[in-house]
Amino acid sequence: MKIILKDPLDMHLHLRDGEMLKITAPLSAKYFSGALIMPNLIPPVTSIEQVESYKKRILQAIGENVFKPYMTLFFKDSYSYEFLKEAKKHITAIKLYPAGITTNSEGGVSKIDSFSLKEVLEAMSELEIPLCVHGESEGFVMDRESEFLSVYEELAREFPKLKIIMEHITTKDAVNLLEKYENLYATITLHHLYITLDDVAGGLLRPHLFCKPIAKRPEDRMALRKAAFSAHPKVMFGSDSAPHPVSKKESLGCAAGVFTAPIALQALCDLFEKADVLDNLQKFVSDNAKNIYSLTPPKKEVVLVKEEYEVEERFGDVVPMFSKEKIGWRVESVL
Ligand code: NCD
Ligand code: ZN
């Protein structure tokens, strides 16, 4: 059995910088046509110069591969209309992090509501710059996403023309919210389609599956699967592939993030095939994102075949999801 995926897109990707970028960028660029590049570097990407120089480093790191990095800015409530008007030419979206909620988000926003962020969000709305949000409150870890949903509702209501993307949703409640507001969209990761909290901490602790938002309950995973498997038009694949060196994962104080980019398409094929919905994968990994963001990525055809693939133990010093395990699909060729 074979499938050809056209122009796969990863709409939430952490490539990092420096030596790590040299490992991650070619891996994503091999199988994906493009990706939305997260701005949570140290320091975060907050100026047009930083966007352009990071983009240049990414393009250098991908080598011969054809791949479009869709750049983002790290949200600041101090951005002016004039700045955003100029920035629009260089970016695809702006990523909003609550301060301190996840890796490298210390410079995020401490008060997220429609009043405090009115000026920036009105400008983004007018300039048609999508807002990507890491939607978690400061509450109990399992409730953080659900508690944040009222913020999404307020923003969606107050800025009806602003495209708001609920990043890496993990709950049934977030899936349901998609139906309530026309301007709300979502990305779903590979790992949240696969795992629940039980896989992370139900037996021996598995640090390589530890991420933010934390994986939730079986009924949440079921709702995510339902949305992805049916290729819900407001839902896109965003891996949230977030590499950390093994020393930061297998350590006291494990960094949050699952590294999935090099195995994502293979694992998605496996999952969609087992659910008998392989025909919907094209929409989930590309078509929906093209429609939502109005993208025309470079052409790429990834041929996957139903043959066993043993996942590499490590890529550089990063351990991927399914390290040394077998996946039922492998990439045969890229055209
Ligand atoms: C991400 C990272 O490491 O940058 N970590 C994660 O657990 N997902 C940040 C993020 O997207 O929350
Ligand atoms: Zn992320």
Q: How confident is the model at residue 106 (pLDDT cuts 50, 70, 90)?
A: very high
Q: Note whether 249 and 319 are within 8 A (CB).
A: yes
Q: How confident is the model at residue 204 (pLDDT cuts 50, 70, 90)?
A: very high
Instruction: Please give the pLDDT value at position 69.
Output: 98
Distance between CA atoms of residues 333 and 25, nearest Å: 19
The kind and range of the H/E element at 124 are helix 118-127
Instruction: Count other Cβ atoms within 10 Å, centred on residue 100.
Output: 12
**Please, what is the average pLDDT of the chain?**
98
Instruction: Please give the pLDDT value at position 208.
Output: 98
Question: What's the whole-number mean pLDDT along residues 83-89?
Answer: 98
For the Cβ of 189 lying below 6 angstroms from any atom of ligand 1, the answer is: no
Instruction: Please give the pLDDT value at position 182.
Output: 98
Instruction: Count other Cβ atoms within 10 Å, centred on residue 56.
Output: 11
Instruction: Please give the pLDDT value at position 285.
Output: 99
Distance between CA atoms of residues 103 and 94, nearest Å: 17
Ligand in nearest proximity to the CA of 103: 1
Instruction: Please give the pLDDT value at position 133.
Output: 98
User: In the chain, what's the furthest Cα-to-Cα distance?
Assistant: 53
- Exposed (0-12), middle (13-18) or buried (19+): which is 303, by Cβ within 10 Å? middle
Q: Nearest 5°: CA angle at 127, between 122 and 129?
A: 90
Percent of the chain whose predicted confidence (pLDDT) is above 90: 100
Instruction: Please give the pLDDT value at position 104.
Output: 93
Q: How far is CA 29 from CA 36, 94, 170, 293, in A?
A: 12, 22, 26, 19
CATH superfamily of 2-334: Metal-dependent hydrolases (3.20.20.140)
Question: Dihedral (C-alpha) 223, 224, 228, 231: value to the nearest 10 degrees?
Answer: 50
Nearest atom within ligand 1 for CA of residue 168: 11
Instruction: Please give the pLDDT value at position 206.
Output: 98
For the Cβ of 305 lying below 6 angstroms from any atom of ligand 1, the answer is: no
Tokens of residue 152, six digits: 């999404």
Q: For residue 2, how far is its CA from the centre of ligand 2 (angstroms)?
A: 30
Question: What's the whole-number mean pLDDT along residues 6-25?
Answer: 98
Give the tens place of pLDDT for each residue, 277-322: 999 999 999 999 999 999 999 999 999 999 999 999 999 999 999 9
* Phi, psi angles (nearest 5°) of residue 23: -80, -50
Give the tens place of pLDDT for each residue, 248-263: 999 999 999 999 999 9
Of 240, 270, 287, 317, the catalytic one is 240
Instruction: Please give the pLDDT value at position 165.
Output: 99
Distance between CA atoms of residues 11 and 92, nearest Å: 11
Q: For residue 211, how far is its CA from the centre of ligand 2 (angstroms)?
A: 9
Kindly report whether the global pTM for this prediction surpasses the value 0.85.
yes
Annotated active-site residue 240? The verdict is yes
Give the tens place of pLDDT for each residue, 124-144: 999 999 999 999 999 999 999
* CA atoms within 13 Å, Cβ hemisphere of 96: 29
Q: Note whether 266 and 281 are within 8 A (CB).
A: no
